[in-house]
Amino acid sequence: MLAVLVLSLKFLIRRRRPEGEGGGIYRQTDPHSFPSGHAARASMLTVIMFLGGFWWLGLILLVWTVLVDLSRVGLGVHYFSDILVGTLIGIVMGGLAFWVFSII
């Protein structure tokens, strides 16, 4: 569901990736940068671990998520706003996924 949401937004908004040489495969397979799917997925996993009571793994994933986010900007394949919105989507979807699977 997260991938469908992110890809739908990418193809609706169609924001071009920043100019640069880094991330060649991403520029070829996915020319759109907004929102960041990497940031969304990393944030979603982090939220699920925290809500699931695995706080120690959540802390590790929080550090990993920040590093993923910084690397995407550092590679020049995303703008900061792509990361910010991707992170917010991941937080919401992580909470939603946890809630849905906790009532099943």
Q: Which residues are catalytic?
A: 38, 78
User: How far is 59 from 7, CA to CA, in rounded Å?
Assistant: 28
Biggest CA–CA distance in the chain, Å, is: 46
Over its C-alpha atoms, the chain yields an Rg (Å, rounded) of 14
User: How far is 89 from 104, CA to CA, in rounded Å?
Assistant: 23
